[in-house]
């Protein structure tokens, strides 16, 4: 299979390395020139390395490659720009796989690429770039879940892509309920990611403290209010059911993990707050609803972004 990984950050490098190492033709689209073709992944899944077939900062360099699968792994705030780029080269039979955090990526992809060519995934392994082209995988809470929320792509075609990813060594599985599962992660990230970044602590620290647990409960309760208002189906009947699962199943394998926003703020980068708690606030305001805890968290992250980015 010919695969283009668009965005070689931590998640993109992981997919590119594993898929190339397992025998696929893999290209990488990056922003900067002179990005190394040889990639390395270490950590809980062992030591892996692969040299990509081509890396370029110009999307048109891939126009004649007859690409079967494009894996989009840029930050959520770069999704729209990336989709406009991809639209220049995508063929009718090319599949786009989204791997990003947060709300709104799928909706943008449907607008620019079409649901009949777009797959959604829930990625919940933790990876960190240690230096250019090198990644360390620190945690994996569950399989990469892949599906098409609107049933717009044949199931056998989706499962074929899932099998290629699974055979590469990345745990993956198919689910027609991927949109519900993605919302599980949106809630998970909204509760943990910004709060851990603001306080400079791990997910386990947040889960062990009675005061941060109160804040996380409020965040989750507000999100359930918004999903109900928008008639978004979740896997959970109420916030407490979700929180029980959250503390029992989701926290234990990720206890030592520090959030991506923590590292973004430390390095002066923009965070994905607008696709997480910020998106909840935006959805709430559109229906004249209040989400004060999510709004407070969003404002605090934006403050930290501003003072750290200058």
Q: pLDDT at position 101, please?
A: 86
The total number of structural domains in the chain stands at 2
pLDDT at 310 over 80: no
* 45 has a pLDDT exceeding 80: yes
Residue 176: the pLDDT is 95
Domain containing residue 198: CATH number: 1.10.1040.10
Model pTM score: 0.93
pLDDT score at 254: 86
Domain limits at 12?
A: 2-176
In this structure, are residues 44 and 10 in contact, taking their beta carbons and an 8 Å threshold?
Answer: no
Judge contact between 69 and 97, C-beta under 8 A: yes
**134-140 vs 38-43, strand pairing mode:** parallel
pLDDT at residue 32 above 90? Answer: no
- Check: CB of residue 56 under 8 Å from CB of residue 34: no
Label residue 122 by pLDDT band (50, 70, 90): very high
Q: Is 214 exposed, middle or buried (0-12, 13-18, 19+ CB in 10 A)?
A: exposed
Task: Give the strands of the sheet with 134-140, arranged side by side.
Answer: 48-51, 38-43, 134-140, 125-131
| Residue 306 designated active-site | no
Out of 185, 225, 228, 248, the active site residue is 185
Of 109, 144, 176, which residue constitutes the final position of a domain?
A: 176
DSSP label at residue 136: E
The verdict on 63 and 192 lying in the same domain is: no
Say how far apart CA 91 and CA 108 lie, in whole Å.
18
- Kindly indicate the confidence band of residue 92, based on its pLDDT and cuts at 50, 70 and 90: very high
Question: Residues of the chain with pLDDT > 70: what percent?
Answer: 100
């Amino acid at each position: 299979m010919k695969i283009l990984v668009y965005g070689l950050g931590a998640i993109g490098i992981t997919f590119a390395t594993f898929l190339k190492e397992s025998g696929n033709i893999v290209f990488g689209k990056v922003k900067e020139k002179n990005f190394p073709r040889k990639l390395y992944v270490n950590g809980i899944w062992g030591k892996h390395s692969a040299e990509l077939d081509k890396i370029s900062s110009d999307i048109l360099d891939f126009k004649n490659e007859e690409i079967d699968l494009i894996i989009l792994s840029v930050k959520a705030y770069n999704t729209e720009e990336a989709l406009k780029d991809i639209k220049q080269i995508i063929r009718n039979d090319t599949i786009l796989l989204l791997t990003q955090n947060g709300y709104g990526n799928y909706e943008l992809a449907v607008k620019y690429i079409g649901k009949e060519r777009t797959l959604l995934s829930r990625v919940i392994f933790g990876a960190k770039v240690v230096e250019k082209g090198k990644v360390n995988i620190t945690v994996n809470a569950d399989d990469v879940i892949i599906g098409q929320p609107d049933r717009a792509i044949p199931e056998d075609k989706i499962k074929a892509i899932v099998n290629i990813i699974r055979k590469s060594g990345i745990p993956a599985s198919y689910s027609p309920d991927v949109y519900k599962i993605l919302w599980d992660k949106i809630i998970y990230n909204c509760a943990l990611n910004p709060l851990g970044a603001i306080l400079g602590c791990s997910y386990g620290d947040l889960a062990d403290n009675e005061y941060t647990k109160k804040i996380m409960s409020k965040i989750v309760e507000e999100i359930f209010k918004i999903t109900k208002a928008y008639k978004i189906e979740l896997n959970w009947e109420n916030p407490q059911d979700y929180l029980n699962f959250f503390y029992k199943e989701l926290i234990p394998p990720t206890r030592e993990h520090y959030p991506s926003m923590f590292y973004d703020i430390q390095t002066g980068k923009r965070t994905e707050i607008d696709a997480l708690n910020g998106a909840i606030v935006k959805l709430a305001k559109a229906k004249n609803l209040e989400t004060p805890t999510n709004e407070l968290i969003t404002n605090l992250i934006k403050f930290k972004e501003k003072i750290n980015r200058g």
